[in-house]
């Protein structure tokens, strides 16, 4: 269990069911008390509007839809987030400083990137 992740509420925005299930389990093992998932941009925006999150992980591409609106909403709410992607390339302008977790990833990589993000706050 990670001290920095213990008791945290996490949002996962991911459209790949196996990746989502793995990430939910990993975050629970790391101490997150609430892990909420969204598989679409619309669902993620609804969840952000009606819940408080301590941290978020965004797939950059959900079935062809970019998650820019989700990133913008999280940034407005002051929620720290990372991008997760299976693609290489440039980030959207304005988010080049956000951490990127490249899929496939190892559990320790997820823990490291999230704890680094939280400790920087």
Helix (H) or strand (E) run with residue 22 in it: helix 17-29
pLDDT tens digits for range 87-114: 765 556 677 788 889 888 999 999 999 9
Identify the weakest region by mean pLDDT among 22-31, 33-42, 79-88, 111-120: 79-88
Q: What is the DSSP string of 25-67?
A: HHHHHTT-SEEEEESSHHHHHHHHHH---SEEEEESEETTEE-
More confident of the two residues 21 and 86: 21
- Enumerate the domain spans of the chain: 9-119
Question: 3-state class of 121 per DSSP?
Answer: coil
Please say if the pLDDT value at position 86 is more than 70: yes
What topology does CATH give the domain 9-119?
Rossmann fold (3.40.50)
How confident is the model at residue 12, as a pLDDT?
98
Model confidence, pTM: 0.92
């Amino acid at each position: 269990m990670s001290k920095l992740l213990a008791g945290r509420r996490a949002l996962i925005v991911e459209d790949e069911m196996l990746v989502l299930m793995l990430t939910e389990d990993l975050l629970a093992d790391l101490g997150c008390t609430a892990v909420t998932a969204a598989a679409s941009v619309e669902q993620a925006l609804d969840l952000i509007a009606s819940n408080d999150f301590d941290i978020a992980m965004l797939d950059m591409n959900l079935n062809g839809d970019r998650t820019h609106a989700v990133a913008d909403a999280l940034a407005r709410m002051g929620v720290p987030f990372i991008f997760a992607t299976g693609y290489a390339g440039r980030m959207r302008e304005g988010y080049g400083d956000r951490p990127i977790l490249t899929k496939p990833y190892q559990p320790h990589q997820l823990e490291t990137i999230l704890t680094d993000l939280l400790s920087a706050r």
